[in-house]
Structure 1
Amino acid sequence: MSYHWDWSFLFQNIMGGDETYLDTLVSAVGWTVAVSLTAWIIALVIGSIVGIMRTLPNRYIAALGNAYVEIFRNIPILVQLFVWMFVVPELMPHDLKMWMKQDMPAKEFITGALGLGWFTAARIAEQLRAGIQSLSGGQRNAGLAMGFTLAQTYRYVLLPMAYRIVLPPLTSEFMNVIKNSAVTYAVGVIELFYQFNQINEETSRSLEILVIVGGLYAILAYAANRLMTTIEKRTRVPGFIASK
């Protein structure tokens, strides 16, 4: 027997209220974008710091960066989210612990963004490390020979080129952040996958809502891809990966 598709549930009010299921999906898109962008900013900042640490001549700093990558890259993101939600508060001083458990605003959102951001940062750190090490040693030496400090050499010589080289994998990571945001439903973020479960339980229109939610994730990921591709084209350097 063929399946009977019915999309009218989108315009039904939820349990006698004024909000429709379509309204909840629109809200979920907003939360998905918000948690994804917040996590991406966290990942880019921390990943850049850790990636630089791994290329410094100080072996202790490099080892610390390597330890971060190995820990956060090899623990499943769902486990990390639960650690942020339930374990980290228990490690805090009593007053801070009680605030984090009871009074912290947007607790679920912050937990989801931090967990997703720190997980993705380990991947970005590895990519940036590879980008910096792909540059010839002459660039670092030239910067130091010009009188730059090591920090200035990174700032003005190495990083501008390394970021251009790793833009293609960074594009994939940005898309992955959007797709991985679905996991944050486990800590209560009311994003698209969370609403998928809610609407499916109340309407039993599994296929319709799955098509809609899957399509929305695809649209968001594609938009991220187009944004990063535009940045690649505007910043590319002939002869390097991002210029192809």
Structure 2
Amino acid sequence: MRRLVLAVCFVFLLAGCGTFLGNSPPPSDERAVAAVEEANSSVAAVETYRFDMDMHVVASDGEQTRTVRVDGEGAVNTSAKRMQMTTRTQGQTVDSYVDGYRAYQGCQDPWGGYAVENVSRAEPWATATPLHRQVLLFDRSNVYLRGNETLAGNRTVLVTASPSAEIIESVMDRRQAADMDLNRGSLENATARLWLDPETNRPVQSELTIKISQRGATATATITLQYSEYGEPTAISIPPDVSDDPYELGCPGAG
């Protein structure tokens, strides 16, 4: 079950996702297509931003149920090719970093240290970050305009998406895709929503819900990501010990 929970976390934090099951989804709403295109253009010009994250995962395997709550925040500087993220769960705080084309995932106690893996060079570097992967997902999917919604007292435009498992895999790296094994039916149901600022066309918030199953166990998770401080000065410092003898095969105890 631990592996299942971690798989859900990887999808949410590093990719974002949604899917449509059953018959093929209806064609995109042209107004939604235009909104996503404008968001894509707006995000492409963004060099810095910050994000806040809140996630709730419930995994069940027979009579056993496990609930995991994760909250955190991060900062991105695409011009420097750097990202920093702090997450808190079950009394532990973990820092993770992306420095160029190397990603360092902090490992929980009692091991500590960092696991390292390469960031794909097949896509622009920015698509390794939460905001850009979200927009990329909507850009590749059928999308639908749901009208205006008030979010934290501000008017926003809501767009939803229905990407297939193949589209989800296309915005994940090979390691994540292998862990999720989406083509074998582990993804049962998911939704994706994106709120846009009508003045700037930039994303304000995304909320995602996903249900996956593996070997008889199921996990359902909901995550909310809020984006802010676009274009504000953002210097990201990476501690020197991050790259000191990192784990090459993932964090101990994560399998």
Of Structure 1 and Structure 2, the greater strand share is in 2
TM-score, normalisation: structure 2: 0.27
Greater RCO structure (CA 8 Å; 6+ sep): 2
Of Structure 1 and Structure 2, the greater helix share is in 1
TM-score, normalisation: structure 1: 0.28
